[in-house]
Amino acid sequence: MTGLSLPAIRGRVAFVFEEVDFDVDQIIGVKNIKLRDPAELASVAMQSYDPQFAQQVKQGDVLVGATNFGYGHPHYPPMIAMRHLGISAVIAESFSPGYWRGEIAMGFAQIACPGVLQAVRRWDEIEIDWSQHQLVNHTQHTALPFEVYSQADREMLAAGGIMGYLKHLRTKDSA
Amino acid sequence: MGLTMVEKILARTSGSARVRAGDNIQAKPDFVVAYDFPGYTDVIFQQMKNDFGITHVAEPERFALFIDHMVPAITTQEEDLHQNTRDWGAANQVPVYERKGIGHQVAAELGYATPGALVVHFDGHISQLGTFGTLALGVRRHLLEAFVNDHIRLPVPHTTRIDLVGEMPHGVMARDVFHHIVRVLGAASCRFQVLEFGGEAVQRMGIDARQTLTCLAMFTGAISAIIAPDDITLPYAKARARLDIEPVYSDANAVYAARHTIDISGLQPVVVVPPSPANTRDLSEHLGLPVQVGYLGSCASGRIEDLRAAAQVLRGRQVHPGFQLHVVPTSQEIMRQAAEEGLLTDLIAAGAFVSSPSCDYCFGRIGVMTAGQRAVSTGTLNVKGRMGSTDSEIYIVNAMAVAAAAIEGRIADPRDYL
């Protein structure tokens, strides 16, 4: 996809979700799942995991997850909250397809990186090297390969989500 | 090397002689289907017009809309959504099927489950059209692509073959078989793949049981499920098919990501304990647990086989005092058949509250639970808050076990009533 590149990702590991088959709705609590305002969602996020999360997280930070991250019946609000707080990507051992599709369509980077739970600790500084397909841990001076995107996923992410992607396809087709 | 059914369907729809798992392709879905839901269809209609300048779909016969959630409407906003759907359908000459039942079932009844066809929806339970050899994918917000463009871009998925062998034991239903598969293979076992069910036990299953198996594929991580059409499914599907497509079958030497053979002959009824569809346990471990609510219905269960099974348990018996048993046939066609067979009479006589087809009990829009209440359910999911309060609980069981629990007011072994 000419003219579009994947977003630069460099930041700290703001949280590690170690639970397998993690249900992302737990991030805001199911009772808050119908909230729509990003700021309000952000204010309820992570309360049962780390009440100080919102104060500690910085723009560009990432989340790390275990195997089959996003399993269950994932809704969009938890990650709307996370993006509002500055989270730039989720890096997990592997993802549940429904969650994956939903977030890639939102233009939110999801990176499948087997071994990531062992390779990072909370607050490590990490970077995604798109050209080498590596997760670089600047704190521990290590690197770990991640899985390459399908063409459609890569283009959608580079275009910032489904809307940008479809508009870009139209421009390309009519060019 | 040979090809899977999935590869053959995606070769045809992408205009290629041959595609293999992992290839990046552009495929033209034969059918694009959706139920109306806030944030999905209303947004898609708006984006088509405002962002892409599309006022009419080019091939209306490729599209179908269902009104099955929020039926009947209880707020004007809900009815506004439905009216918007009807208006869009009328303006685009796209059929809108309303009050006929849960769309995934009605889609099969109306011939969208054409063997060999490719169908897309935003909802993953559309996978159940795979019962008829149709590849049906739930793609969430990517569905917009199928409304805006003829073709959608996707990687060809790998297939995992699951052969089921052995006789289905007494008191065990397809619902138990599926959740047993999750227990054996794991909730992440088939991520991004399509399940292909086969084997002697599947060949002996009726259409209803196969629809249950394929409907729930997502809980193994799969993106769909498919079964080779046979003498049981072909007459049903062919008589209703909307397209003249040759059914496809996997080659004997097809390449699978994995192959598993699972013997179901020793299987006991199971229960999926909250709060995750990954939590399959033997029902026997939870006998006696008090329950106040029972739900028999959904796109996964609630078909004639389920209603017959529940009626068999409840016939001549009474629902436990105070227990709320909701029975919701999956479609009008099924409800009418249940009426003709006398099943509704049996269920009503036993004290069941029988409602017309709707998705609404399954996702907690009606018949909701308060904190501390517990349900046995044939709904699709048992996550927190799915059927009301986040402090209520859902135990997923087969239709007979819902009926048995309704009699005792606690989780009970349905085999005691057969």
Which tens digit of pLDDT belongs to each residue from B113-139?
Answer: 999 999 999 999 999 999 999 999 999
Model confidence at B417, pLDDT cuts 50, 70, 90, reads very high
Count of alpha carbons within 13 angstroms of residue B12, beta-carbon side? 18
B191 close to A (CB below 8 A): yes
Model confidence at A16, pLDDT cuts 50, 70, 90, reads very high
Residue B1: per-residue pLDDT: 87
Q: Do A150 and B154 touch (CB under 8 A)?
A: yes
Interval A38-54 mean pLDDT: 96
Among residues A30, A99, A43, the alpha carbon closest in space to that of A66 is found at A99
B121 close to A (CB below 8 A): no
B23 close to A (CB below 8 A): no
Residues of chain A with Cβ-Cβ distance to B221 below 8 Å are 68, 71, 96-97
Higher-pLDDT residue of B382, B1: B382
| Percentage of chain B modeled with pLDDT above 70 | 100
The whole-angstrom distance between B386's CA and the closest CA on chain A is 9
Res. B352: pLDDT tops 50: yes
Helices (H), B134-228: 143-148, 174-185, 200-204, 207-215
Q: Which residue in A150, A154, A171 has the most chain B C-beta atoms within 10 A of its own C-beta, making it the best mutation to test that interface?
A: A150
Among residues B314, B281, B222, the alpha carbon closest in space to that of B6 is found at B222
Summarised one tens digit per residue, pLDDT across range B136-166 is: 999 999 999 999 999 999 999 999 999 999 9
Please give the ipTM for the structure prediction. 0.93
- For Cα atoms B66, B139, A84, give the angle at the middle one, nearest 5 degrees: 110
Model confidence at A171, pLDDT cuts 50, 70, 90, reads confident
Summarised one tens digit per residue, pLDDT across range B169-212 is: 999 999 999 999 999 999 999 999 999 999 999 999 999 999 99
* β-strand partners of B376: B294, B395
When the pLDDT of each residue in chain B is averaged and rounded to a whole number, the result is: 97
Summarised one tens digit per residue, pLDDT across range B313-333 is: 999 999 999 999 999 999 999
Q: Taking CA atoms, what residue in B is nearest to A156?
A: B142
C-alpha B346/C-alpha B338 separation (Å) is 10
Q: Do A68 and B191 touch (CB under 8 A)?
A: yes
Residue A34: per-residue pLDDT: 86
Summarised one tens digit per residue, pLDDT across range A127-164 is: 999 999 999 999 999 999 999 999 999 999 999 999 99
Query: Are the CB atoms for B402 and B271 separated by under 8 Å?
Result: no
The whole-angstrom distance between B149's CA and the closest CA on chain A is 8
Res. B243: pLDDT tops 90: yes
Residue A1: per-residue pLDDT: 47
Kindly give, in sequence order, each residue whose CB lies less than 8 Å from that of residue B77, ignoring residues fewer than 6 positions away. Answer: none
Interval B96-111 mean pLDDT: 98
Residue A3: per-residue pLDDT: 62
Domains and CATH numbers, chain B: 5-263 (3.30.499.10), 271-417 (3.30.499.10)
Interval B61-86 mean pLDDT: 98
**Joined tokens for residue B197:** 């069910």
Interval B278-296 mean pLDDT: 98
Res. A87: pLDDT tops 70: yes
Q: Do A96 and B52 touch (CB under 8 A)?
A: no
- For Cα atoms A113, A117, A123, give the angle at the middle one, nearest 5 degrees: 105
B51 close to A (CB below 8 A): yes
Q: Do A72 and B381 touch (CB under 8 A)?
A: yes
Residue A30: per-residue pLDDT: 85
Q: Which residue in B40, B47, B191 has the most chain A C-beta atoms within 10 A of its own C-beta, making it the best mutation to test that interface?
A: B191
B198 close to A (CB below 8 A): no
Query: Are the CB atoms for B250 and B4 separated by under 8 Å?
Result: yes
Q: Taking CA atoms, what residue in A is nearest to B371?
A: A31
Residue A170: per-residue pLDDT: 86
Interval B85-106 mean pLDDT: 98
Query: Are the CB atoms for A89 and A108 separated by under 8 Å?
Result: yes
Q: Do A96 and B154 touch (CB under 8 A)?
A: no
Cβ–Cβ pairs < 8 A, chains A and B: 90
Residue A174: per-residue pLDDT: 66
Q: Do B141 and A169 touch (CB under 8 A)?
A: no
CATH node for A10-174 = 3.20.19.10
Residue A172: per-residue pLDDT: 76
**Joined tokens for residue A124:** 């490590």
* First-last CA distance in chain A: 13
Summarised one tens digit per residue, pLDDT across range B271-280 is: 999 999 999 9
Residue A4: per-residue pLDDT: 79
Q: Which residue in B140, B154, B193 has the most chain A C-beta atoms within 10 A of its own C-beta, making it the best mutation to test that interface?
A: B140
Assign B84 to helix, strand or coil: helix
Among residues B221, B124, B212, the alpha carbon closest in space to that of B397 is found at B212
B339 close to A (CB below 8 A): no
Q: Which residue in B37, B126, B142 has the most chain A C-beta atoms within 10 A of its own C-beta, making it the best mutation to test that interface?
A: B142
Query: Are the CB atoms for B399 and B347 separated by under 8 Å?
Result: no
C-alpha B28/C-alpha B32 separation (Å) is 10
Interval A65-81 mean pLDDT: 96
Query: Are the CB atoms for B136 and B129 separated by under 8 Å?
Result: yes
